[in-house]
Amino acid sequence: MSGRRRTEPVDALLVLADGTVFEGEAIGAPTPVATGEVVFNTVLSGYQEVITDPSYAGQIIAFTYPHIGNYGVNAHDAEAARPHCRGVVVRELTRRHSSWRAEEHLDAYLARHGVPGIAGVDTRRLTRHIREAGSMPAAFGTAPEAELKAAAAAEPGTEGIDLVATVTCDAPYTVPGGPKRVVAYDFGIKTTILRHLAGIATVEVVPASTPAAEVLERRPDGVFLSNGPGDPAAVAGAAGNIRDLLGEVPVFGICLGHQLLAEALGGETHKLPFGHHGGNHPVRRVDGGAVEITSQNHNYAVTEGTITGCEVTHVNLNDGVIEGLRCLDVPAFGVQYHPEAGPGPHDARYLFDEFAELMERHR
């Protein structure tokens, strides 16, 4: 077990595309220059689940909570086999973790997986800046400031780039489980989602580019559209495949899957100023008015008023963004947030039961 991180600090800088500079010290994998789109996440715990969420491909994660690494990392809490994020920014990386579940220090884990990071950053200032200026490309590392500024200016960010192609599985695989049969599109699927789906069905996970005809040949009771990274409009062929599935089989989408479902229905999506990333976002259920505290991780959202034949089922109470849709003429629904938590509250886990009920009604 790795108990302590390296004790000799190496100076590093974080430089945003607008030229704003933050000082710190290098952690994780030693890297002169790393680039990506910097976003902030407000979770108080669950940093390992966040770092290993494939939805962060192309992004640098800045944690607003000041102490990160307190309880180390372990194999069970990983949401993917490895992190897909471009880097990690923290205020303070704890020097020694303390948990009976810990198998490794976060610093050693990042280094082992080739993920660079920067600690000692004024993350409060960084968060305030992103809230005012929006998420933007950035570069960080041990290289000179001028080199980092040039790298930040050259980083394209996430818009218009098919990041799903970098995280989806290469071939189908099966997760044994309940009596029903579900085909899950892997746009960057999380392990915790698979655990919940396995509670109701045997799940066959397929690559993001799998044609609808091949999915229907498997005779599933339902199709699941997973979370994933980046711009939904850039995911090649996904909306068309989903369109061909609608009306043929019940469909449930989460996060990117929700956005792709909306696009399949003729809707549009747009990029949010700084996205929703955290474990405490209040969402109102339109039917009944109950409020759920939810886990969220997305930079894009469904544009209001662009879809017909659907009803809005959930709304974000912070900014009014559409958080849920249900089709009126076909068995399909989606939510923008993460009902599986991982990390986060469990208020919305009932949605997996609703998916099971929808499949049962349309067998």
Give the tens place of pLDDT for each residue, 304-338. 999 999 999 999 999 999 999 999 999 999 999 99
Q: pLDDT category, 79, cuts 50, 70, 90?
A: very high
Give phi and psi for 235, each to the nearest 5: -80, 110
The two structure tokens encoding residue 67:
């102490």
Mean pLDDT for 89-101 is 96
Say which DSSP state 303 is in. P
pLDDT digits (tens, 9 = 90+) for 36-62: 999 999 999 999 999 999 999 999 999
Model pLDDT, residue 7: 62
Model pLDDT, residue 1: 44
Q: In whole angstroms, what is the distance from residue 292 CA to residue 342 CA?
A: 16
The reply to whether 338 belongs to the active site is yes
- Among 121, 114, 111, smallest CA distance to 25 is for 121
The reply to whether 340 belongs to the active site is yes
Mean pLDDT for 14-42 is 98
Model pLDDT, residue 2: 47
The CATH superfamily holding the domain 164-361 is Class I glutamine amidotransferase (GATase) domain (3.40.50.880)
The reply to whether 214 belongs to the active site is no
Active-site residue (options: 85, 255, 310, 327) = 255
Sheet containing 180-186: which strands, arranged edge to edge?
173-175, 201-207, 180-186, 222-225, 251-254, 332-335, 322-327, 310-316, 269-285, 291-302
Model pLDDT, residue 4: 47
Q: What is the pTM of this model?
A: 0.95
Listed by start position, the domains of the chain span 11-154, 164-361
Mean pLDDT for 335-349 is 92
Class of domain 11-154: alpha beta
Q: In whole angstroms, what is the distance from residue 110 CA to residue 27 CA?
A: 8
